[in-house]
Amino acid sequence: MHSPSLYPHRALMILMFLTAGAVALGLVIGWSWFFDHSRRREVITQLAAKREAEAKKRAEADAAAEVQPYVSTPSSSPEGPRVSLGDMAKEGRAGASDTDVPKEPVTIPLPLEPNAPDVQQADELLKKYTKATKWEEKVAYVYQPERTRVLMQQFYEVQRGGDPVFGALLNRGHYRLDGTEILHFTYSCNRPGDVLELAMRRSSDGRFVIDWTSYVGFSEVAWADFKKERPSTASLFRGFATVSDYYNYEFTDRQRYLSVSLLSPDGLVSLHGYCVRETPMGTALASVLGSSTSMRGVVLRLAFPERAESDHCV
Average per-residue pLDDT for the chain: 79
Q: What CATH number has the domain bearing residue 193?
A: 3.10.450
Tell me: the pLDDT tens digits for 173-205?
999 988 889 999 999 987 777 788 999 999 989
**Residue 55 placed within a domain:** yes
| CA angle (67 as vertex; 103, 48 as ends), nearest 5 | 170
Q: Which of 185, 216, 247 is the last residue of a domain?
A: 216
For range 130-139, the mean pLDDT? 96
Q: Which of 163, 189, 216 is the last residue of a domain?
A: 216
Tell me: the pLDDT tens digits for 205-230?
999 999 999 999 999 999 999 999 99
pLDDT at residue 37 above 60?
no
Query: Cα–Cα distance between 41 and 33 in angstroms, integer?
Result: 12
pTM of the entire predicted model: 0.69
| Percent of the chain's residues with pLDDT above 70 | 67
Min mean pLDDT across 51-55, 137-141, 147-151, 201-205 is at: 51-55
The total of structural domains in the chain comes to 3
Tell me: the pLDDT tens digits for 79-123?
566 665 554 334 433 444 444 566 667 889 999 998 999 999 999
Full residue range of the structural domain in which residue 209 is found: 88-216
Please tell me whether residues 92 and 139 are part of one structural domain.
yes
pLDDT at residue 52 above 90?
no
pLDDT at residue 56 above 50?
yes
**Residue 312 placed within a domain:** no
Q: Which of 184, 216, 248 is the last residue of a domain?
A: 216
pLDDT at residue 24 above 50?
yes
**Residue 250 placed within a domain:** yes
Tell me: the pLDDT tens digits for 143-162?
999 999 999 999 999 999 99
Min mean pLDDT across 105-109, 126-130, 132-136, 213-217 is at: 105-109
User: What is the model's pLDDT at position 212?
Assistant: 96
User: What is the model's pLDDT at position 12?
Assistant: 61
**Residue 296 placed within a domain:** yes
User: What is the model's pLDDT at position 67?
Assistant: 32
pLDDT at residue 238 above 50?
yes
Please tell me whether residues 203 and 154 are part of one structural domain.
yes
